[in-house]
Amino acid sequence: MSDAVSLREHLEQLIRAEREVRETVADKLSESLRLQATETLRRLDELNHAHAQAVENWRTSLPRELFDQWKDEHAKWKDSVNAQLVVAASLNASLGRIESRIGSIETFANKVTGGLILVGFMGAAGVLALLLSIARLFGVLTN
C-alpha cells in the first residue's frame, strides 16, 4: 500500500489545490479592481479636462440672444450703408455733369479774360482795327 494515499493526505491535497485556486482568483480579482480603478481615474481626469475646456468655451461664447441682437443691428447698419452708397453713386453721376459744366464755364471765362486783357491793352479802337484786318485777310471784307 505504498501507492495508497491516506484520507488525510488526500484531503490536505484537495484543500491545498482549492486554496491555490481561491488565492489565484483573489489575486486576479485584486488586479482587476486595481486596473478598473486606474481606468476610472483616467476617465475622470479626461472629464475634468473636458469640463475645463467647456467652461473656457462658455466664457468666450456669446449667448444666442446677444448674437441674434447683434446680427439684427448689423443688418440694419448694412442696409443704411447700402442706401447711402446708392445715393452717393447717383450723386457721382451728377457731380460728373457739374464738373464738365464748370470746365466749359472756365474755358469761356478764360476767353473772356483774354478778350478783356486785349481790350485793355489795345483799347476798343485797336481791337476793332485788329478784327477788320483779320476780316480783310480772310477775304470777308474788301477795300
pLDDT tens, position by position, 81-124: 999 888 888 887 778 888 888 888 888 888 778 777 766 777 77
Residue 46 exposure: Cα atoms within 13 Å on the Cβ side: 6
Q: What is residue 123's predicted lDDT score, i.e. its pLDDT?
A: 76
Q: How far is CA 85 from CA 13, 79, 89, 90, 92, in A?
A: 102, 10, 6, 9, 10
Tell whether pTM > 0.75. no
Q: Three-state secondary structure along 36-75? A: HHHHHHHHHHHHHHHHHHHHHHHHHCCCHHHHHHHHHHHH
Mind listing the pLDDT tens digit for each residue in 45-73? 888 888 888 888 888 887 888 889 999 99
Residue 15 to residues 4, 11, 18, Cα–Cα distance (Å): 18, 6, 5
For residue 97, give Cα distances in angstroms to 94, 100, 104, 105. 5, 5, 11, 12
Decide if 104 contacts 98 (C-beta within 8 A). Answer: no
CB 102 within 8 A of CB 110: no
Checking if the pLDDT of 1 tops 60, the result is no
Q: According to the model, what pLDDT value does residue 39 have?
A: 94
The vertex-67 CA angle with 65 and 69, nearest 5°, equals 70
What's the pLDDT tens digit per position in 72-87? 999 999 999 999 888 8
Closest-CA residue to 119 (of 108, 135, 130, 134): 130
